Amino acid sequence: MRGGGPTRGPVAGARRRIAAVATAGLLAVLLVGASQTAAPAAAATPVVPAFSHIYVVVMENHEYGTIAGNPTAPFINGLIRRYGLATNYRAVAHPSEPNYLALFAGSTLGVTDDGVHDLGARNLADQIEAGGRTWHVYAQDDPGRCSTAAAVPGGVDLVGAPGWYARKHDPAISFTDISGSPSRCARITHLAGFSPTAADYELIVPNMVNDMHDGTVAQGDAFLRAFVPRITGSAAFANSLLVITWDEGSSNVGGGGRVATIVVSPRVPAGFRSATSHTHYSLVRTIEDAWGLGCLAQTCTANDLGEFFTH
């Protein structure tokens, strides 16, 4: 046994070195394989394009099922067939005003009614300006001159039926850093001067008839049929996004009802449907992600609509 010791020692050591090299090689193969497997998952993450223009049109007070598939809304359903539809999108509250605030500030800011509110919170307009971009609100029948009136009757404003301007549907004027600044509140105007290139972000608020609040689904459809081609028929639309949503539905699903939200862009495949859970905060997050603006309040934990563009 003593005589065989010197022979077995080097042999055993060599075997251990060979085993160590083999183990290291196998580990390297596993690590390379793991990195190759992980890469496609990262690449598949939805990304919102840096759109040149983003337009948002807010309609009123209809649950998803009264819009999608409704024969009295042929233009709207034509948009759904040609572009995209979020089928699991929810408003966040009742009544109207908290939803408009959510769409402009990423939060209802504790508002639970349709009253007159003067708010000091940071908002989407602040983010957009800080990001070096521009914004404009087109509120149909808005009286102009930085009016803070609660409601004003008007005639035909560009297209659609005559109706009422309602401050509760115009979120920008409720923020004191806008209402108190003549240059900023001058960016809230009536619809007649609409231009698809007036600003990077444009919020379009129809009057109380054309948004379906006081009017019918057919009247709202007629308004959109007359107005939307001013966006989709423009050269600016080639690298732009239009989202048409409803402020709230008739149910309490998600806090404000399940509403139809139509995603219109040349980047959206025809007839695309997304059952991903979304809210009004997702729409704001989409704007923020498109332009790298950061986040506001509830949008910091919201998803975006990126799946509509990842094809």
Q: Are 58 and 34 in a shared domain?
A: no
Over residues 98-122, the mean pLDDT reads: 98
Q: Are 145 and 289 in a shared domain?
A: yes
Q: Are 158 and 271 in a shared domain?
A: yes
Domain span at residue 152?
A: 53-309
Q: Are 26 and 97 in a shared domain?
A: no
Give the chain's domain count: 2
Cα dihedral value 181, 182, 186, 187, nearest 10: -30
Q: Are 38 and 67 in a shared domain?
A: no
Longest distance between any two alpha carbons in the chain, whole Å: 113
Angle at 118 between CA 112 and CA 119, to 5 degrees: 80
How much is the pLDDT for 311?
76
CATH code for the domain of 116: 3.40.720.10
Of 259, 267, 256, the C-alpha closest to 306 is: 267
Over residues 34-42, the mean pLDDT reads: 34
3-state secondary structure of 302: coil
Q: Is the dihedral of CA 100, 101, 106, 110 positive or negative?
A: negative
User: How confident is residue 45, by pLDDT bands cut at 50, 70 and 90?
Assistant: low
Q: Are 283 and 198 in a shared domain?
A: yes
CA distances from 224 to 18, 67, 74, 166, 259 (A): 75, 13, 10, 19, 17
Over residues 166-184, the mean pLDDT reads: 98
Question: What's the pLDDT tens digit per position in 253-292?
Answer: 999 999 999 999 999 999 999 999 999 999 999 999 999 9
Q: Are 256 and 109 in a shared domain?
A: yes
Q: Are 109 and 34 in a shared domain?
A: no
Q: Are 76 and 161 in a shared domain?
A: yes
- Mean pLDDT for the chain? 89
Q: Are 27 and 123 in a shared domain?
A: no
How much is the pLDDT for 46?
72
Q: Are 35 and 160 in a shared domain?
A: no
* pLDDT for 17 beyond 60: no
3-state secondary structure of 127: helix
Q: Are 73 and 38 in a shared domain?
A: no
Over residues 301-311, the mean pLDDT reads: 95
Q: How far apart are CA 111 and CA 95, in angstroms?
A: 10
